[in-house]
Amino acid sequence: MDTTNLIFAGVGGQGVLLIAELTAQTAVRAGHDVKQTEVHGVSQRGGSVESHVRFGDANAVHSPLVRAGQADVVVGLEKLEGLRYADFLNPVTGSLLVNDHEIIPGSVANAAEKYPHHAMDFLRHKGLRVVELPASRCAKDLGDGRMANVIMVGALSALLALPEEDWLETLKERIPAKHREANLRAFQAGRRLSTDFGSPFGLSGMQPVAGGHRDSGPLSPAKGDNHD
């Protein structure tokens, strides 16, 4: 297989690194060679956070960094951050999967006025495939707005050729027991959202999940749990 190139982006505290790790671990479980990269440090204090994940055949993945113009999917947990990494997308086959959510940079003067609210239309106009998902709202409906990251990774999972069992195993292993159920629900909600909002949608050379459930309906609220 060709190497799959993913970028995860968001704001410090949104759980970008967690979902990048979930994806990388799932790819390992599915038998791939995997590289992942992130930068720790000051950026975690409410700044931009990004992580790259690449997976493919054994010993075929060298650089942990995705090259510009080669990302298959950029997962944005926030619109401005999705925009920031959009130029990494493969302009023909890449997709921006973005949480329809805005966080105004706190320490930038007049940030509210300067914020590019039209960013997604701009990118569509540039010919990019953009899929906006109401992950934060959906997470709130499920009882905790902080699970937006897991909803987004659920949505991503529907686009990648990684077996669902592997995702679920990784989630079970990685999420502490007391938050596990809620997060598994969030993951499944994300998978459904992806097929509802995104079709026709799948990566070249990969199989999108067959059919897709159209029965997402009103999401059942879950007990309020937060994970750190």
Partner 1 sequence: MTKQLLSGNEAIARGAWEAGVKFASGYPGTPSTEILENLAKYPEVDAQWSANEKVAFEEGMGAAIGGLRVLVTMKMVGLNVAADPFMVFPYAGTNGGFVLISADDPGMHSSQNEQDNRYLALMAKVPVLEPSDAQECKDYIEFGLELSEAHETPVMMRTTTRLAHHKGLVALGDRVEVSRKEFTPDVKRFSVPIYRKLRRPEVEKRLERLREFAESTPINRVEWRASQPGAAAAKGSVGVVTSGIAYQYVREVMPAASVFRLGLTHPLPSRSLIEFCAAHETVYVVEEGEAFIESHLAALGATNMIGKSAFGVIGEYSPDRIAAAIAATPTAPMQDFSKEIAMLPRPPMFCVGCGHRTVFDVLRQLKVTVAGDIGCYTMGALPPYEAEHTTFCMGASIGTAFGLERAGHERTVAIIGDSTFVHAGIPALIDAVFNGSGLTLVILDNSTTGMTGQQPHPGAGTTLKGKPAPKLDLEAMVRAAGVKQVQIVDTWQRKEVGRAIRAALLQGEPSVVIARGPCMRLPEMKLSERAASPYVVDESLCTKCDACFKVWCPAITRTAEGFPIIDTLDCTACTVCAQVCPTEAIGPVDSRQ
Residues in contact with partner 1 by CB under 8 A are 11-12, 21, 24-25, 28, 33-48, 62-65, 67-70, 80-81, 83-84, 86-87, 90-92, 104-109, 111, 114-116, 119, 122-123, 126, 144-146, 226
**What is the DSSP secondary-structure string of 3-34?**
PEEEEEEEETTS-HHHHHHHHHHHHHHTT-EE
| Residues in CB range of 31: below 8 A, 6 or more apart | none
d(CA 131, CA 197): 7
Q: Which is closer to partner 1, CB of 34 or CB of 203?
A: 34
Q: Which is closer to partner 1, CB of 100 or CB of 212?
A: 100
CB of 140 to partner 1, least distance (A): 11
Q: Which is closer to partner 1, CB of 105 or CB of 216?
A: 105
Q: Which is closer to partner 1, CB of 22 or CB of 212?
A: 22
Of 122, 99, 103, 93, the C-alpha closest to 47 is 103
CB of 195 to partner 1, least distance (A): 27
CB of 198 to partner 1, least distance (A): 22
CB of 167 to partner 1, least distance (A): 15
Of 145, 159, 146, the C-alpha closest to 193 is 159
Q: Which is closer to partner 1, CB of 72 or CB of 195?
A: 72
CB of 216 to partner 1, least distance (A): 25
> Angle at Cα 162 formed by Cα 157 and Cα 166, nearest 5°?
90
Task: Check: CB of residue 116 under 8 Å from CB of residue 151.
Answer: no
Pairing of the two strands 33-38 and 4-11? unpaired
